[in-house]
Amino acid sequence: MSEALVVGSVALDSVETPHGNVSEVLGGSASYGCVSASYFAPVKMVAVVGEDFPSEHVGAFEGRGIDTSGLKSESGQTFRWSGYYLREMGGAHTNTTALNVFENFRPTLDESQRNAPFVFLANIQPGLQLSVLDQLTAPKAVLLDTMNFWIEGSKKELTKVIERVNILLLNEEEARQYMETPNLIEAGLALQELGPQTVVIKKGEHGSLLFQRDRVMSVPAFPLRELKDPTGAGDTFAGGLVGYLARLNSFTDEDVRKAVVVGTAMASFVVEDFSLRRTLAIRPGEIHQRVDRVLEMMRAPVLDQETLAGRNLAATIS
Amino acid sequence: MSEALVVGSVALDSVETPHGNVSEVLGGSASYGCVSASYFAPVKMVAVVGEDFPSEHVGAFEGRGIDTSGLKSESGQTFRWSGYYLREMGGAHTNTTALNVFENFRPTLDESQRNAPFVFLANIQPGLQLSVLDQLTAPKAVLLDTMNFWIEGSKKELTKVIERVNILLLNEEEARQYMETPNLIEAGLALQELGPQTVVIKKGEHGSLLFQRDRVMSVPAFPLRELKDPTGAGDTFAGGLVGYLARLNSFTDEDVRKAVVVGTAMASFVVEDFSLRRTLAIRPGEIHQRVDRVLEMMRAPVLDQETLAGRNLAATIS
């Protein structure tokens, strides 16, 4: 077993969905990523909060064994996001974003953080992601997540980050937007050409597509009858990936495929309730159950080659 | 090997997509369904055309060995549809529909058609689909396709058809619309409760979901970098299903899963060009190749159970 480093945001979120609403609950990409990863390997968190950040949340992280020595507390308010989802549970709609202490966040890694072998650069400004990359001494695998905001406003800088990571994660709208094509296959292949060994396009209820060398793989979403709140699904997915790769201490193409199945299972928990409620309450055996269910959905039938020959009608007619 | 019966429309389509446009080309659900099915088993077509229907199209059907004795020619014009697709290649947008001879279409089966073991009821008015069902003497498996128009206008009658078929095919918007839920899993499970052994929800580039007993299965789409014209994809998919089931002369749950993979491969051909150009030109070995590619996309990794146990941190902390 190896260990994982997660650099991202810790936030207080206010969210409204068709299933209810919550105010100032624990959120942020690093929170979701770290808790998810913590089910598989030791995790170090690098993020910033304000003086108002409730200590019980730090307790929740530490209860999951997360090393919070990189969670800096600065004077000022914690990063806040407020948004809502419509009935279709597509993308989040933002009401307000208050960066607060996050505005001056400059992640500085200590020695043990710099030596981290498996790293998840969660969604923050690409310039900061670059500075983290520059500080890493010997990363085995770096995972990168981003968002439309940076594709629109900092594409050049973002491209520099993409060129240097092993695994790029983005959702389908972002992939289409980045490559300016409606075709996901074309987008995935083009993103792969920028450098990452694996590109993972996240498609929510439609699962994910993996682009690896000359291969495209598909992993379905866990079949949920109800989503309560999609917030954090992508970060929880990525956290599962980085945590599981750290657990395996390896990241062959096949390992990454395994990790995507694990990430898929992890993401299915987080959307069942608001904030990290469900993810913090995963019971022994539940991850294994959901992984098996996803694998079962993927189970390929075996077709007899002879049945696929195609009826050679021209021959019978001529 | 058994045989397949396809009842649906034969049309002259005018289509515009970002990749070009065509005028009065061969189209219609029965055309796409029959040609696709003909690669696997003998096929009988039941449909109607007008006096203006070009005889070369009948020749194309017969070149594929399709029994066109059920393709009636009536005085009047052939059914015409004209529509377009936007850059995203989502659903078709209709400019005009002229039912013409199709308006008075009342499918009457002769004895050999009534005895057909594998039947595809392609998209036509549910009342006509019911009348075909009433004429069948001993069907082994009936596949049903429909469209939003009938869900909106003839839901009661459509439900009666659904209750009597073995395999229901519909696209994701139709599934959500029929069951009045944004959640596809909920929609699929509820549709299954109406009676069909299998419900297949078609999701275009995202592949398809199969609902069978207590199982949900996922089959990805064939990875195409470019779609020229999505017209007929659903009918070609269904034609591949019914043809392949007839080829196997069996329709266990596993057989249906195989047939969905075959239908997926068949649909990938039709969208590569307008009308039936590409589907009529499939070369020996190509079907097999694409089936293998879809199966490869589905290949599930093998995860070591011990790695999924979840780190029991409470125990180490307490």
A185-227 per-position pLDDT tens digit: 999 999 999 999 999 999 999 999 999 988 999 999 999 999 9
Q: How far is A171 from chain B (nearest CA, A)?
A: 13
**Which residues, including other chains, have CB under 8 Å from residue B142's CB and lie 6 or more apart?**
B119, B120, B121, B133, B136, B164, B165, B166, B167
Q: Tell me what pLDDT residue A311 has.
A: 80
Residue type, A57: H
Minimal-distance CA residue of chain B relative to A189: B225
Q: Tell me what pLDDT residue B315 has.
A: 46
pLDDT surpassing 50 at residue A273: yes
Give the residue among B227, B217, B220, B213 at the shortest CA–CA distance from B263.
B220
Task: Check: CB of residue B80 under 8 Å from CB of residue B104.
Answer: no
Q: Hey, are the CB atoms on A41 and B309 less than 8 Å from each other?
A: no
* Six-digit token string for A155: 């594409």
Mean predicted confidence (pLDDT) in A67-80: 97
| C-alpha pair distances (Å), B71 with each of A87, A228, B45, B50, B280 | 45, 51, 6, 10, 19
Q: Quote the CA–CA distance of A22 and A153 in Å, as a whole number.
A: 30
| C-alpha pair distances (Å), A76 with each of A46, A101, A122, A187 | 18, 6, 23, 41
A76: region left, alpha or beta (phi > 0 left; psi from -120 to 50 alpha): left
Task: Determine what percent of chain A is predicted with pLDDT higher than 90.
Answer: 92
Contacts B173 to A, Cβ<8 Å = none
pLDDT surpassing 70 at residue B314: no
| C-alpha pair distances (Å), A11 with each of A34, A81, A169 | 13, 7, 21
Task: Check: CB of residue B92 under 8 Å from CB of residue B231.
Answer: yes
Q: Tell me what pLDDT residue A91 has.
A: 85
Q: Hey, are the CB atoms on A247 and B305 less than 8 Å from each other?
A: no
Quick: pLDDT tens for B2-42: 999 999 999 999 999 999 999 999 999 999 999 999 999 99
pLDDT band, residue A316 (cuts 50/70/90): very low
Q: Hey, are the CB atoms on B65 and A316 less than 8 Å from each other?
A: yes
Q: Quote the CA–CA distance of B111 and B93 in Å, as a whole number.
A: 39
Burial group, residue B75, by CB count within 10 angstroms (0-12, 13-18, 19+): exposed
pLDDT surpassing 80 at residue A312: no
Q: Hey, are the CB atoms on A40 and B307 less than 8 Å from each other?
A: yes
**Which residues, including other chains, have CB under 8 Å from residue B226's CB and lie 6 or more apart?**
A183, A186, B19, B272
Burial group, residue A216, by CB count within 10 angstroms (0-12, 13-18, 19+): buried
Q: In what order do the strands lie in the sheet with A80-84?
A: A20-27, A11-17, A80-84, A93-98
Give the residue among B301, B253, B148 at the shortest CA–CA distance from A212.
B301
Task: Determine what percent of chain A is predicted with pLDDT higher than 70.
Answer: 98
pLDDT surpassing 90 at residue A245: yes
Task: Determine what percent of chain B is predicted with pLDDT higher than 70.
Answer: 98
Minimal-distance CA residue of chain B relative to A314: B63
Q: Hey, are the CB atoms on B227 and A39 less than 8 Å from each other?
A: no
Task: Check: CB of residue A61 under 8 Å from CB of residue A54.
Answer: no
Q: Hey, are the CB atoms on B308 and A288 less than 8 Å from each other?
A: yes
Q: Quote the CA–CA distance of A258 and B27 in Å, as a whole number.
A: 43
Mean predicted confidence (pLDDT) in B179-194: 96
**Which residues, including other chains, have CB under 8 Å from residue A55's CB and lie 6 or more apart?**
none
H runs (alpha helix) in chain A: 29-37, 55-63, 111-114, 126-135, 148-153, 155-162, 172-179, 184-193, 233-248, 253-270, 286-298, 313-317
Q: What mean pLDDT is reported for chain B?
A: 95
H runs (alpha helix) in chain B: 29-37, 55-63, 111-114, 126-135, 148-153, 155-162, 172-179, 184-193, 233-248, 253-270, 286-298, 313-317
Task: Check: CB of residue B73 under 8 Å from CB of residue B79.
Answer: no
Mean predicted confidence (pLDDT) in A118-128: 95
Of B223, B261, B302, the CB nearest to A303: B261
Q: What mean pLDDT is reported for chain A?
A: 95
H runs (alpha helix) in A70-171: 111-114, 126-135, 148-153, 155-162
Q: Hey, are the CB atoms on B217 and A297 less than 8 Å from each other?
A: yes
Q: How many CB pairs under 8 A join A and B?
A: 162
Minimal-distance CA residue of chain A relative to B305: A288
Burial group, residue B106, by CB count within 10 angstroms (0-12, 13-18, 19+): exposed
Q: Quote the CA–CA distance of B255 and A301 in Å, as a whole number.
A: 8
Confirm whether the ipTM is greater than 0.90: yes
Quick: pLDDT tens for B57-107: 999 999 999 999 999 999 999 999 999 999 888 789 999 999 999 999 999
